[in-house]
Amino acid sequence: MESLDGLNEQQRRTLNQYQSITHSHDIEEAVRILTEYNWNLEEAIQNEYRKYYKDSLGGDQSTSASSSLLGHNRPMTERRRKSGLLSFFFWPFNLIWKIIWSLYSITARLFHKPITTNEPRHDPRSEADRFLRYFESTYGTIHPSFFEGSYTQALNISKKESKYMMVILISEEHDDNDAFCRSILTSSELLDFLRHHKIIVWGGNIRYTEAFQVSNILEATTYPFIAIIGLHSPSSSVSLSNLKLSVIDRIEGQTSPTSIIRRFENVMARTESTMNRLRSEREQREQEQRLREEQEQAYAESLRIDREREMRMHQERQEAIAREHNRLMEQRNRELYIRYLCQKISTNMTNPPENEKVTKISFRMADGSRAIHKFKGSDTLEDLYQFVEAYPYMEEYAHEPSINRIPDNYVHKYRFTIHSAFPRTEYQPDPTTNIANVKGLWPSATLIVDPDQDGESDEEY
């Protein structure tokens, strides 16, 4: 739809809020109205509310429901009795009274406008705080729990949570104002009633900008003023989709806590079943929403656990592959090193040194076999270990290709120790200690080879 394609994200959210509050299903009309009010949600909703109220004024007033919606304090049946000949005689007086009342209403509005319109605009929370500070500093801290926000925000919550809303407008210039604020709004009976039924209470002083605008919307002329707002169907249809926030009753001028409660109870008697049904549906939706959120959270948690398990398994596989690779590389390098030792020892045995003293050392191997080899005095203790390491593979690698050097960065680990029988002396593979300088190894010796307890056998790489 073209009207939606041209909207940005903020305008779409504003449109959704407007439709939710006003129950408007005509998107193009809603966009037109919001555009007319420069996408000011509060002003657009106030216009809709004002228009709906004016439509009610021009409609059929023959039923008690309409009378309640218009806020007339007297039942419609009483006005019907002023018919016939008596009404004919009183018609000129009624006309004069209506003219005087209209002039008074207009004068009252004009009287207050200069006070409010010259004041700077405040954000809703600021004006709510300002009214609360004024009320408590003037009348005390015992009062209804005033909604801390704008009139539109209060309407929105009333609609969303299917709660009744009470609008209280006061004016210090009216004689009944002080008594109303000091006696009626502090009544424990009224406060308990409002708390028990969780009624949203929005209050304002018409000296302030927003409260004055609300007074125009609700067409209040006498103060103190109370409007009872709730979800109400403008037609005889009971379909929930037809329900709109409406002024179901209005109280103007001096009243009493008992009267306010009675008027509220009358409203509830007509609308409570619908409100309860709405609350039940809302609670069911919220419960379903919570269930969906819990399911989504459980699903997300399950996915997280699966991902972590998969990552852990992948890491373990990679580590296993790396360990196997390192093991194979270690085995390969060890094999090459032993081949190198076999080649080195074989070369020394083929070309024995001339005119150099040697020591004859007999080794008792770990498998019980014996090996005898002659070592030069310049050979080191590590040469003993190299011989023992290479001896089992001398024949196997005799015909293998020559290896000129050991693998780069390879450090060989011997898996055995060499020691003498008695007294027991253990010799370490020290490449800096010559055999000729070691007592017990010259001119001959018998040594024992013991495998390490945690090492592999000499026949394994």
pLDDT digits (tens, 9 = 90+) for 397-451: 877 888 877 778 889 999 999 999 888 999 999 999 999 999 889 889 999 999 9
- Band (29; pLDDT cuts 50, 70, 90): confident
CA angle in degrees (0–180, nearest 5) for 412-415-418: 105
Top-confidence residue, 68 or 386:
386
Q: Is 394 helix (H, G, I), strand (E, B) or coil?
A: coil
With the CA atoms of 286, 291, 296 and 297 taken in that order, what torsion angle do they form, in degrees rounded to the nearest 10? 100
Please classify residue 296 by burial: count the beta carbons closer than 10 Å to its beta carbon, then call 0-12 exposed, 13-18 middle and 19+ buried.
exposed
Which pair of tokens denotes residue 17? Answer: 């809020």
Whole-model pTM: value is 0.46
Q: Is the CB of residue 33 less than 8 Å from the CB of residue 47?
A: yes
Q: How many angstroms separate the CA atoms of 158 and 111, rounded?
A: 32
Taking the CA atoms of 32, 33, 36 and 40 in sequence, report the sign of the dihedral they define: negative
- Average pLDDT, integer, range 190-207: 95
Domains in the chain: ranges and CATH: 339-451 (3.10.20.90)
Top-confidence residue, 272 or 186:
186
- pLDDT given at position 352: 64
- pLDDT given at position 346: 85
**Count of CB atoms situated within 10 Å of the CB of 19:** 14
- Average pLDDT, integer, range 131-159: 94
Listed in sequence order, the residues at least 6 apart from 428 whose beta carbon sits closer than 8 Å to its beta carbon are 381
- pLDDT given at position 291: 94
Residue 372 has pLDDT above 90, yes or no: yes
Of the ranges 36-50, 129-143, 220-234, the best mean pLDDT one: 129-143
Portion of the chain with pLDDT greater than 70, in percent: 76
Residue 62 has pLDDT above 50, yes or no: no
- pLDDT given at position 82: 38
Top-confidence residue, 84 or 434:
434
Question: Shortest CA distance to 371 belongs to which of 355, 356, 385, 387?
Answer: 387
Top-confidence residue, 130 or 275:
130
Residue 202 has pLDDT above 90, yes or no: yes
- Band (236; pLDDT cuts 50, 70, 90): low
- Average pLDDT, integer, range 143-159: 93
- pLDDT given at position 173: 86
**Count of CB atoms situated within 10 Å of the CB of 357:** 11
Residue 14 has pLDDT above 90, yes or no: no
Q: Is the CB of residue 274 less than 8 Å from the CB of residue 238?
A: yes
**Count of CB atoms situated within 10 Å of the CB of 455:** 13
- Average pLDDT, integer, range 67-94: 40
- Band (58; pLDDT cuts 50, 70, 90): very low
Point out which residues pair with 247 in neighbouring strands.
Answer: 229
Q: How many angstroms separate the CA atoms of 245 and 164, rounded?
A: 9
Q: How many angstroms separate the CA atoms of 248 and 222, rounded?
A: 18
- Of the listed ranges 22-36, 37-51, 82-96, the one predicted with least confidence: 82-96
Find the radius of gyration of the CA atoms of the chain: 50
Portion of the chain with pLDDT greater than 90, in percent: 48
Top-confidence residue, 44 or 58:
44
Q: What is the mean pLDDT of the chain?
A: 81
Which pair of tokens denotes residue 416? Answer: 């055995």
- Average pLDDT, integer, range 338-358: 81
Which pair of tokens denotes residue 207? Answer: 């000296």
